[in-house]
Amino acid sequence: MSAEEVESLGDRDNCGFMNTTVVRGRGDLVVVATGMSTEVGRLAGMLAEAPQQLTPLQRQLDALGKRLAAIAVVAVLVVFALAILQGEDLEEAMIESVALAVAAIPEGLPAVVTVTLALGVSRMAEQNAIVKRLASVETLGSTTAICSDKTGTLTLNQMTAVKVITGSGRFDVSGLGYGIVGSVADTPDTDGFPASTVAAGDPGGSGERRHRDASIALGALCNDAEVRFDGDGEAVEVVGDPTEVALVVLAAKVGVDVASLRRSRPRMAEVPFDSTKKFMATLHQHPDDTDRSQLVVKGAPDVVLDRCVALGVGATAVELDERLRGRVMEENSALGSAGLRVLAVASRSLPVRASEFEADLAAEVGDLELEVPRGHPRPAPARGGGGGRALPRRRDRGEDDHRGPRDHRGCDRSGVGNPR
């Protein structure tokens, strides 16, 4: 390929560059460059070769020095000429002229500038800001706007599940961050939920809690994130998308050992998430029947809901009619309007062992039921909005943050809760 035919960086859609983090999907990679031969290395070389720029104050001091020098030269010539015209000795006239030139130079100016900048450094240190170079203080003082990458700079790039919604109510989740701190409420808020589904779900009963916990566990099963906790419940190793990590942490809060769950029910097939389908699907052995398999789907509430036919409520499954579909989408809109990112989790039982499944898994993502207790093959209602099972909703932690992809109406009206 000639130099003219080389694709620009933005068009190399089959390349992954150094420092890129892969958060979902699978693939084989071939390393074609390392170190300074990479694009990041090339940028580092360009930065190292860039000339040192003067700060505005340094440029002003240079200009002032040149003006004073020019004035001093003119003054010296004038004084020297007048002294000669007045008949003074040549040597005395020269001494007077040189003395005037020396007096015109402000020797104390550098010291005054240095002390002023040092005072600025001291004041910034009082505000827990450490400055390495004095010139940086002056540059900061001249700054009118700061453009910063929010995620990981102003925030921590973490998300936290704050609510789980099943067919019979909303469960609040306490605790922020990636530690196993906090819990899921035992009794749901049933305000606004249909009386029929509330009664069937036995709010606060053991059956509803089992259904809720089974739904949460499926969210961690259909998931690519890896989280390792220490003895105190703090996350010491986190790999994956913050949204999926939040699901794993949520599962840990209800007592699910995600690593053991994944070992006992390994993934036998999958449909990776992509922004076009807006869902991810995985296939596992059924927890209660060795002759069957369980399809688990996680994705955007509206997309998952369109593929659901039933809603799991407690130990039963209710037909997902138009009234219930509308109620689910109302809940989803309310969560979106509150600035929360909403996901739905659903499942389906397939009449074949997971190890023997050979069909197209994507074609099986339909006729889902909202999940019933213990992960029976019914999709659970998306947490706040999608068709499926208990759907954990998570929000970023910290201050108002970028909203997640604006996939749902209502998300444009309020800021996202809390990417840390």
E strands of 88-175, at which residues? 159-166, 169-172
Question: Which amino acid is present at 132?
Answer: K
pTM: 0.62
Q: Which backbone phi and psi does 199 adopt, to 5 degrees?
A: -65, -40
Q: What angle do CA 181, 186, 192 make, to 5 degrees?
A: 115
Concatenated DSSP letters of 365-381: --SEEPPBGGGBSSPPP
To the query of whether residue 257 is one of the catalytic residues in this protein, the response is no
Measured between alpha carbons, how far is 99 from 86 in angstroms, rounded to an integer?
Answer: 18
SS3 100: helix
**149, 191, 232, 360: the active-site residue:** 149
Q: How many CB atoms lie within 10 A of CB 297?
A: 30
Question: Which amino acid is present at 284?
Answer: H
- DSSP code of residue 361: G
Measured between alpha carbons, how far is 229 from 14 in angstroms, rounded to an integer?
Answer: 35
Measured between alpha carbons, how far is 223 from 247 in angstroms, rounded to an integer?
Answer: 8
E strands of 93-192, at which residues? 159-166, 169-172
Q: What are the C-alpha distances in Å from 175 to residues 152, 159, 185, 197, 207?
A: 20, 11, 11, 28, 24
The pLDDT of residue 200 is 60
Q: Which backbone phi and psi does 198 adopt, to 5 degrees?
A: -65, -45
Measured between alpha carbons, how far is 156 from 395 in angstroms, rounded to an integer?
Answer: 13
* Per-residue confidence in pLDDT tens, the chain, 420 aa: 454 566 777 777 788 887 777 766 677 888 888 888 888 888 888 888 878 777 777 888 888 888 888 888 888 888 888 888 888 888 888 888 888 888 877 878 888 888 888 888 888 888 888 887 777 777 777 778 888 776 666 677 788 888 888 877 888 889 888 889 888 888 888 887 776 666 565 665 677 788 888 889 999 999 999 999 988 888 889 988 888 999 999 999 999 999 999 999 999 999 988 888 889 999 999 988 989 999 999 998 889 888 988 887 766 778 888 888 888 888 888 888 888 888 999 989 999 999 899 888 888 888 776 553 222 222 233 333 333 343 333 334 333 343 333 344 443 332 333 334
Nearest C-alpha neighbor of 392 from the set 266, 294, 252, 224: 252
Q: Say whether domain 159-413 belongs to CATH 3.40.1110.10.
A: yes
SS3 392: strand
Q: How far is CA 281 from the centre of its chain?
A: 22
Contact between residue 279 and residue 305 where contact means Cβ atoms under 8 Å apart: no
Nearest C-alpha neighbor of 211 from the set 231, 188, 229: 188
Measured between alpha carbons, how far is 365 from 346 in angstroms, rounded to an integer?
Answer: 10
Measured between alpha carbons, how far is 128 from 130 in angstroms, rounded to an integer?
Answer: 6
Measured between alpha carbons, how far is 111 from 29 in angstroms, rounded to an integer?
Answer: 58
The pLDDT of residue 388 is 39
Measured between alpha carbons, how far is 170 from 192 in angstroms, rounded to an integer?
Answer: 10
Residue where the block lists tokens 């909203």: 403
Measured between alpha carbons, how far is 133 from 56 in angstroms, rounded to an integer?
Answer: 14
Nearest C-alpha neighbor of 137 from the set 145, 154, 125: 125
Contact between residue 233 and residue 177 where contact means Cβ atoms under 8 Å apart: no
Alpha helices in 236-388 (DSSP H): 242-253, 258-264, 301-306, 322-337
Q: What are the C-alpha distances in Å from 315 to residues 94, 187, 191, 249, 374?
A: 107, 16, 21, 25, 9
